[in-house]
Amino acid sequence: MGENILDYTLQELEESIIELGEKKFRAAQIFPQIHDRNIRNFDEFKNIPKELSEKLKSKFEIRYPELIEVRNSSIDRTKKFLFGIPGTNEKIESVLISEKGRNTICVSTQAGCNAGCEFCATGKMGFKKNLSAGEILAQIYTVTREIGEKPSNIVYMGMGEPFLNYDNVIKSLKIITDEKGYGLSSRKITVSTIGFTGKIKKFAEDLTSVDNKLMRNIKLALSLHSTDRGLREKIIPLSKINPLPKIFEELNYFYKTTKNKVTFEYIYFEGLNDTENDIKRLTKLVKMFPSNINLIPFHPIDFPMGAPLERYSGKEFSLSKDKIFDFIEKLKKNGVIVNLRNSAGVDIYAACGQLAGRNQK
């Protein structure tokens, strides 16, 4: 197979065009046709000579994952897209959440995941493959074509841990914010991570680099889920080597460097992470730097979970709405900005933690 031209930044494409014996300006003609107009055949490119089209074919492919299945939720307007990765047996999923005039695309960065979080179906699959920048972008471009317009927002919260595929994630962000290509504003993009020492700081520095000025306003979300270090290390195993105190230090650095507000993602586990001590610690945490909490109801997964989440396994756990609203009210009384996230697409296993890269009957 030829190299996937979707993987190339504009600068890299310029260098390749020169190597093919063509003028540099040709790259600026080609780049938007790939990334903005979603053209998937070199013969359909406009304003370039046939000779150049043939040269492009000799070196590149425009390679997209195979769209295997689109599932529609019966309870809301959520869609889930199942893709097959060419040349492999691996599958990934993307989600389109449509609500209140907004279209949010949730994209995957890995097939499977090597973080192994107890509450996440993707983590229970194990690691399969890091996605290339082009494989990340192809999900966005395919969904864009399906809905006929660019999304309101993009969140890197699908299958996989973005910071364990850091270089390809950064490259995809650089490409998608390029004004000569897809041209999405960085204000509309959020990257989610469980937190890695060194990586959060590097992310802040990359966003504020002179070379990445169009990425400047990308937001960061931390999958927190517990303020108790012992509990968090049980449900997020990699947090043992990425302890919360160090992560909080880096988040503070991220805010001071970028001035971008941080979001804490917090799955609600009744009786585990909703104690008075949790409320006190969360209140203290959000006062360290501007931030808010997205509270997420637990979504059932059909993978067995170990302690302390085993009681959530094998059945749809009955969540007490009164208790979750009481938890929210206590946080709000302490001045915490907290939002209850909707369980979009829960019936098609498209909600937070449910993606597993497989056909669902």
Same domain, 50 and 167: no
Q: Is 275 within a domain?
A: yes
Same domain, 144 and 210: yes
Q: In sequence order, what are the beta bridge partners of 262? A: 220, 291
Instruction: Identify the domain boundary among 37, 61, 85.
Output: 61
Same domain, 32 and 146: no
Same domain, 229 and 329: yes
Please list, residue by residue across 310-330, b when 16 or more beta carbons sit within 10 angstroms of its beta carbon and e when fewer do: eebeeeeeeeeeeebeebbeb
Domain encompassing residue 128: 66-348
Parallel, antiparallel, or unpaired for β 79-84 and 91-99?
A: antiparallel
- The domain that holds 35 is classified in CATH as 1.10.150.530
Q: Is 82 within a domain?
A: yes
Same domain, 31 and 100: no
Q: Is 360 within a domain?
A: no
Same domain, 332 and 211: yes
Instruction: Name the residue among 293, 304, 230, 239 with its Cα closest to residue 267.
Output: 293
Instruction: Identify the domain boundary among 43, 61, 79.
Output: 61
Q: Is 356 within a domain?
A: no
Same domain, 188 and 329: yes
Same domain, 232 and 98: yes
**Tally of domains within the chain:** 2
Same domain, 111 and 132: yes
Same domain, 43 and 120: no
Same domain, 28 and 175: no
Q: Is 357 within a domain?
A: no
Residue numbers annotated as active site: 93, 352
Query: Rounded distance, CA 226 to CA 241, Å?
Result: 16
Q: Tens of pLDDT along the chain (361 residues)? A: 799 999 999 999 999 999 999 999 999 999 999 999 999 999 999 999 999 999 999 999 999 999 999 999 999 999 999 999 999 999 999 999 999 889 999 999 999 999 999 999 999 999 999 999 999 999 999 999 999 999 999 999 999 999 999 999 999 999 999 999 999 999 999 999 999 999 999 999 999 999 999 999 999 999 999 999 999 999 999 999 999 999 999 999 999 999 999 999 999 998 899 999 999 999 999 999 999 999 998 888 888 887 888 877 655 555 678 899 999 999 999 999 999 998 889 999 999 999 998 776 5
pLDDT at 83: 97
pLDDT at 360: 62
Same domain, 92 and 75: yes
Element (H, E) at 138: helix 133-147
